[in-house]
Amino acid sequence: MKRFCIVLLLAGALACGRMGPPRPPEDFAPAALKAFEVRGTVGGVVLRWNAPESTAAGDPLEDLLGFSVKRSSFEVGESPDYDELVFVEFNSEEPAAEPENVKTAKLFEYNDKAVEPGKVYDYLVVPVNERGVEGEIPGKARVTFIGQSSIIELQ
């Protein structure tokens, strides 16, 4: 009986549930967007991107909530002041016809129609997880809006 109690105590001590040191929230943040594209049209600025598939730490991304699309008017010598234009929700449900284990890149798009010709805008699209942690920003897009001939700089 004594031997059984010792074995039970040792097993309980070794299986206390601790998996490792705690990790910061940034480790669970989404990685940067994939295939971020920007183009000017007659009616506005179109932003397109694919969702990241992993976290910043390289683990599979399982809790993506959506994307915060932000814009700032560009003024020389001033720091950008980004406002959220829209939050685009991520719907992780795959179409029923897709076979299992096949990943399809879901394309997201936002058309900013509230732009004025001749003005310069900076755009960010930031992935956000279900905990509200913002992910990596791949860079910004600076757009001098002049319709289809808009000047696009990815920085």
Q: What is the CATH number of the domain that holds 81?
A: 2.60.40.10
In a domain, 99, yes or no: no
CA dihedral 30, 129, 108, 57 (to 10 degrees): 10
Residue span of the structural domain in which 49 resides: 26-91+104-154
In a domain, 54, yes or no: yes
In a domain, 76, yes or no: yes
In a domain, 7, yes or no: no
Task: State how many domains the chain has.
Answer: 1
CA angle 47, 50, 55 (to 5 degrees): 125
In a domain, 61, yes or no: yes
User: What is the per-residue pLDDT for 103?
Assistant: 39
Distance CA 67, CA 110 (A): 10
Mean pLDDT per 10-residue section of the chain, whose length is 155 residues = 51 56 74 91 95 91 94 90 94 50 66 96 96 89 95 93
User: What is the per-residue pLDDT for 96?
Assistant: 44
Distance CA 52, CA 55 (A): 8
Among candidates 35, 49, 37, which has minimal Cα distance to 141? Answer: 37
In a domain, 96, yes or no: no
In a domain, 10, yes or no: no
In a domain, 112, yes or no: yes
